[in-house]
Every structure is written in structure tokens, then in C-alpha cells.
Structure 1
Amino acid sequence: MPSTIRQPTPQKTHRIALLFNANKVYDREIITGIGDYLRSTRVAWDLFLEEDFRCRLAGIEHFDGDGIIADFDDPAVCEVLAECTLPLVAVGSSYEDPAQYPPNLPYIATDNAKLISLAFNHLLGAGLQHMACYSLPESPTNRWAQQRELAFERLAQAEGMEAEIYRGLATSAPDWNHATEQLAAWLESLPKPVGILAVTDARARHLLQACLIAGIPVPEEVAIIGIDNDPLTRTLTRIQLSSVIQGTEEMGRTAAHLLHKMLHGARFPGHRVLVPPVGINVLESTKYQPLASQYVKRARHFIRQYACQGIRTEQVADHVGVSRSSLEEYFRREMQCTVHQEILRYKLDAAKAMLVKGDASSAEVAVRCGFTSLQYMYAVFRRELGCTPREYQERARSAVAP
């Protein structure tokens, strides 16, 4: 008698609402983590997701589905879902006060204390003796920012430093100029050099703009680090911003795993998971190097912004306000290189980064990085790296391949 092959029992498809603002990088990465969990398991979920669910928050508690994963940093969400009877997993900030967490719900949190500790110790390790924090105005929707302030204060006090915190204004089009002027005045008042921890990448970018307007060299006098590692922020700044990479994708995977279990009867009342950061994307804004000469500080700041626009030594000297020979002497004394070599180093680093990214031809890379010709870029690569741009690209790609 022929054996019969048992067909797998089809899984029930669950209707799940993801209540996140898909316009924010933090929320998008949590959603990415949820998607990773779905792809790596046999879970069958029909997802309800809007770009910004808050526009249609009224009535969401009556969602005709099977479960919800929601951003609980917004008090309005907490209030609306307080009486929700569906399996619900909350995601948001960590808090020092346990009373700040929603009762009787599983809660997946970004570990604010570890985020701030990682950023603080990075600045401290760079040799900076003064620290400050650029936060957000106190608000029920910014509770996570105040938690980061508390973590910063504790670390600064442990190091015997003054915990300088500036909240500034909420950034909006009508107040932008006024907010930037106030921020620049605060930056001018700080002892230099100083490391500043911004509670988000958006605040870090605001800091950088204020420094550029005030003529404050970054990172020679102000080193800046943000939180979120937002790729959009990096495209909007001439000086690349260092940033702490949150464990947001892991938060999403963990939230999905808990909800999966809850859909099959498990319950996790009051269960909390604190997810640590992944690491730091270290870029130019925190590559602090102690320098004595103000001319070298200002020159490097100018080079960092405009090296890829084909600037020459004479233009750097004009910007700094000294003769070319004097500036060259300062550079030889402090940097052990010429101004031209410093310009070339930034151009070469930019070209290497573009080649690794791989979204432009070698000719485009040469133009966008300020080389006078493709042949000149090839000559620089051979002289400095012992390979052609294409060979460098192939080596870099093979180095990151599994």
C-alpha cells in the first residue's frame, strides 16, 4: 500500500497593526526588524501600516485584527490603547522610574543609559576634558530626551565634570534663525575644546550648522556626536557626523517574537527588555586631535568642508588670514605634512568611500572628489595606496563579502 505524504497544516494569517511613524528613521528600523522576523520564520501576518498612524489615531483601539505593536513614546498612543483587549507589545524609551512604563504590557526599550554611556566614553576617549549635551525642550512627547539628559548628568558628575545641558528651542521654520542664533551664542560660551552629545542626529546637525555659522572649527574646538545613525542627516552636512547606532532592528525582532507567542496564548505582563546600542559610526565630527595653532584648526575646518571642491593651498591661507609660507610652517610643525597633503588626504578618503559605495563611475568619483582628471586620481591611488581605483574597489568589496 503506497505511503501518503502528509501536507503541512496551513497557518492562520493574523492581522497585525504596526503603529509607528514610518517617516522617522528610528521607527523605520524597528519596522525593518519586524520584517526580518517575519522573513526568518513561518509566521503569516497581514500587516496594517501607515506612514504616520497618528493622523488616524482616533478609533485605533477598535482595530479589527489580532494584535498590535505600537510606539509608546507618544502619550497619546498610551492613552488610546489603555483599554485595548488585543495582544499588544509596546516599544519605546527606557526609563529610570518604573512608574513611567505602561502597566501589564510587555515593553521593548532602547537602553538610554547605554546609548549615552557609549557616546560619552567615545568623546572622553578622544581626550576631551569638557562635555555638554544638546537636548530638546521638555515635553510629554520628549520624555526619552529627558532620560538621556539624566544619563549624561550622571556620567559627567562621575568624571567630576560640570553637566552642561542646553535644550534650546523646538526647530520650526518660523523660529529656525532665532534658534540657531541662540545655539551659536551657547556654543561660544562653552569652554573649548568641548565634546557635545546631541540627543538625536537632527539635533547634531543643528549643532553643526550653528558651528559653521559662528566659525567654530569642528571637531578641533567642538566635537559632535548624535544618536540614530540617520543616513539622510549624513547627506545634508559637509562634515560627516559621528552617531550612535541604536539596536532598533533588534527591538523590532524582539517585539515580533513576543507578539508571535502572545497570539498563541502566552502572556508577558510587565515584561521589559532593554536593548543596547549596536555601536558607533565614527566619522569626522569626533575625530578630535589636540592642536595648538588656531590657524591650523581653522585651516583644517575649511579643508574638511571644501577639499572636494578643488581648493588650493592659497585659498586656505586666504581664508585663515596668513601667508602661504606661514601656514605651511604651522602645518609642518603640528601636522608633519603640507597643506596640499592634507587637502589630498580628504579627497582621497572621499573617493575611497564613494568607490566602496559603488553608485558612481570612476570618472564621476574623480569629478565629485575634486581631482583635476581621472588620470590624476589614478596616479594618486597608485602612489598612496599602491593600486588603481578599480582594484581598491574590488579589494574593499571582497573584504566585506561573507
Structure 2
Amino acid sequence: MTITARRVSLDTSKLLPNRLRLAVLLNPLISRQASIIRGINQYLLKENVDVEIIFGNEIVSEHQDIEDIWFDGIIADYSDSLQINTFERTSLPIVGVLEQSEAIEKKFSVMTVGINSKACIDMAVDCFVSAGIYYIGCYDVLDDASDPRYIGRMHAFNSLSEREDIQTSTFHGMLTNFRSWKQENQRLINWINSLPKPCGIVVINESRSKALLDACLEVGYLVPGEVSIITLKENNIDDFITRQKMTGIKMPLTEVGELACDMLIRKIRKERVKFKSGLISPSDIDFGETTQSNVELDPVVIQVNTYIRNNFRRGIKVQQVVDSIGFSRTLVEKKYKEKMGYSIHKALHDAKLDNAKHLLMTTDLSVSDIAKMSGYSAEEYLYRVFKAEVNMTPVDFRGRNKA
């Protein structure tokens, strides 16, 4: 006897008539898109929307008629040309998400929502100008010249040429591999060398910011003394891969997800949507150690702070900091105290303690390892510092503050 198997398709809409079926064509393994997905989830939970969500780009292909796939609505990645070409011809409720600028927001036939690139660039430039820096560089990556995100950033940066108070320069980084990395790094160094100092550089993301910081250290430029860096910040990866915490524009990716989901649900329910395209501007800068405040413009202060940031983990003393400057200890300590309001000893002490606190809150490393990685000579000394400064042990601090 021959048994023939037959695939049975279950239509969940008949079992759960009020449940919406959404396709979210974003990759949760990509940090930027994962943050957008988080915003989508927050909206659905807040509004108590009953949904079934299908993730992934694999349900879209060049040969597929999207009308044959049963969804109530779709949130698509509009930095993906395949998705754009597929969805521009469908009648399904769709919202495209991307990083964009005013120059391209009217390009698409579907509703779109994304980050206002011009507002991000303007915020970074204003930060540089407030610190007395008037030569601004943009470090982007030329992957696909037709990518709407790249177009948006370049349009935003090119618009700076209309400002009379600054000068600008652009570096187009390339995708690299093990063979081409050294050549690309030399291109970056050549560009940095060509910039007047001091200068400020806006960087596309944290990984490229690390490459820029490493290149500056390799050549010997002080960061932030001669080169200041602001990154478009998707997450806090720089806390783990760089010596200095990056100053970054907080990208409102979660808010993009919330707004995209709100627009899609309203369209599915045939409710009024206030606008076809939504641009969300960043609301804050996460200040780190790669930009300088006005008080830090003094060369002695810049050199002291840079040396401490790059070397406190080695357990350095105040005398080593002073020796790196080349002036007498009395002069350096006096000038630093006048400008900063506290001593070099306190700056060194705070750098070590702050690093220990950060590692206690964000890692599972032992207290002994954290003491060594923060520049303390022994675990017992770290305990004494915590007792004096925080009035608790490192273990108690971790228990109360670990995420």
C-alpha cells in the first residue's frame, strides 16, 4: 500500500479572527535593525495589539508575487533595493523604514519613517563649533552609492557647505578584507594628515570610529586635543572595543520602530494617518572622551587628560603623567587645577574608579581581574577605595547595580 503525504495549511485567521499577521522584514542580528524591532515590540505591548509576526527577508524574492502572500501589513527595510522594487508595486499596507533626509523622503510611493540624517549631522557639528572647532570632517563608508541611508547622510553633510562659519572634508571609506585592510588604513591616515588641526570628525558608526581612533593614536594625534570624534551611535559597543568612550549622537532607532508600527496599524485599521513620511530627529548626545569642552582647550589639560585616558589601566602615578608633558610638576599641577577645579591625582583616581564601576555593572569578571584592569595594584586596594568612596564593597556595588 502506498501512502501519499499531503501538506495541510492552517489558516490561523479563522481560529484567531482579531489577530493581525505582520511581516517584519528586518534582521534582528543587525544591531541597527534589532533596535527598530525593539521599538515595534514596545508599541505592540503598549497598545495591547494581538499580532503574529513573521521575521526575515527570505519571504521576499525577485520572482515572487507579494500579493499571493497573506499578510495584513508589512514593515520593510527600505535600504534594501530588492524590497523597494518589490513593494513599490503592491497594494498591501506597507511602511518602509530607513535612515533618510528631507531630500529623499518623497521618493517612495509607500509610507516611510526614519532618522533625520541632517539633524544628526547638524547636532554633531554644533557640538564641535561650541568647542571652538571649525574644520569638520565626515567619515562615511561607500558600499552602495544608491543606498538611501548613504544618500541621506551625504546630502546632509554636503549642505554644510552653505554655512560660512565652518570648512568641511569627506572621507569615503571602503569595505575591506584581510588583504585590503592595511591599504585602507593608510588611506584613512593620509586623510587625517591632510586635515587642519584642531578638527572634528563625524563618523558613520562605532566600528569605523574605532578605526579612526586607532589611526590617530598610530600617527600620534591627540584625541580630543587635535582630533575630536563624534559617532552616530547605534549601541554602546565602543565601551568594549575602544580605549576611550566615544561621544555619540544617540540614534532614535527604537522611536523609528514605534512610529513605523503605529503608522502601519492605523493603515490596516483604515484610520487616519497624519503624514506619509515621518522623520525623527535625535534628542541627545552621549558625551564621552573623544570630544572636548571649552575648559579643556588648554594644551596642558588636553595632554594630561589624554595620557590618563590611555594609560590609567597600567597603574600609572601622577609623576608619570607629569613626565609625559615635559614641564615641571609644579607648573602642570597648578595649571590643571586652575582649569579643571580638581587635581591630577583626583582625575587619575576617578578614571580608575569609574572603570571599575563600569566593569562591575556590565561584566561577570572577578573583582581581582577588574582591579588589575582598572590600574589597581591589588584587589584589597580596590576594596579600600570602594569602602571610602562608595561606602560599600565592590561585590555589594555589583549586586545593586548590575544590569
Shorter-chain TM-score above 0.5: yes
Structure 1 counterpart of 2:329: 328
AA at the equivalent of 1:119: A
The separation in 2 between residues aligned to 1:237 and 1:86, in whole angstroms, is 45
AA at the equivalent of 1:31: I
Structure 2 counterpart of 1:139: 144
The CA deviation at 1:330 is 5.5
Q: Which of 300, 305, 309 does residue 314 from structure 2 map onto? A: 309
Give matches, 1:22-101, under 5 Å: 22-50=28-56, 53=57, 57-58=61-62, 59=64, 61=66, 62-98=68-104, 101=107
1:120 and 1:152 in contact (8 A); partners too: no
For residues 317 and 149 of structure 1, do their structure 2 counterparts lie closer, same or farther at Cα, with a shift above 3 Å needed?
same
AA at the equivalent of 1:127: G
Question: Which residues of structure 2 form unaligned runs of 5+?
Answer: 1-14
Task: Percent identity, please.
Answer: 25
The CA deviation at 1:112 is 1.2
1:219 and 1:285 in contact (8 A); partners too: yes
1:344-368 deviation line (CA, Å, top 9, x unaligned): 3311221233345475565553233
Matching of residue 185 in structure 1 with residue 194 in structure 2: no
The separation in 2 between residues aligned to 1:386 and 1:69, in whole angstroms, is 47
1:34-68 deviation line (CA, Å, top 9, x unaligned): 11112122312111113xx2696443734332211
AA at the equivalent of 1:373: A
Structure 2 counterpart of 1:228: 233
Say which SS state the counterpart of residue 46 (structure 1) adopts. strand
For residues 360 and 34 of structure 1, do their structure 2 counterparts lie closer, same or farther at Cα, with a shift above 3 Å needed?
same
Give matches, 1:90-129, under 5 Å: 90-98=96-104, 101-103=107-109, 105-129=110-134
Structure 2 counterpart of 1:6: none
The separation in 2 between residues aligned to 1:68 and 1:332, in whole angstroms, is 61
Question: Which residues of structure 1 form unaligned runs of 5+?
Answer: 1-8
The separation in 1 between residues aligned to 2:100 and 2:80, in whole angstroms, is 13
Say which SS state the counterpart of residue 284 (structure 1) adopts. coil
2:319 and 2:329 in contact (8 A); partners too: no
The separation in 2 between residues aligned to 1:108 and 1:301, in whole angstroms, is 40
Say which SS state the counterpart of residue 163 (structure 1) adopts. strand
For residues 102 and 193 of structure 1, do their structure 2 counterparts lie closer, same or farther at Cα, with a shift above 3 Å needed?
same
1:163-189 deviation line (CA, Å, top 9, x unaligned): 222213234433211111111111112
The separation in 2 between residues aligned to 1:301 and 1:251, in whole angstroms, is 36
1:298-319 deviation line (CA, Å, top 9, x unaligned): 554343123123234576578x
2:139 and 2:201 in contact (8 A); partners too: yes
Q: TM-score, normalised by structure 1?
A: 0.82
Matching of residue 195 in structure 1 with residue 200 in structure 2: yes
Q: Which of 281, 286, 298 does residue 291 from structure 1 map onto? A: 298
Matching of residue 365 in structure 1 with residue 370 in structure 2: yes
Q: TM-score, normalised by structure 2?
A: 0.82
AA at the equivalent of 1:290: L
Aligned pairs, how many? Answer: 381
The separation in 1 between residues aligned to 2:397 and 2:266, in whole angstroms, is 45
The CA deviation at 1:379 is 3.7
Q: Which of 346, 352, 356 does residue 357 from structure 2 map onto? A: 352
1:198 and 1:226 in contact (8 A); partners too: yes
- Range with greater deviation from structure 2 (121-130 or 138-147): 138-147
Say which SS state the counterpart of residue 83 (structure 1) adopts. coil
AA at the equivalent of 1:259: L
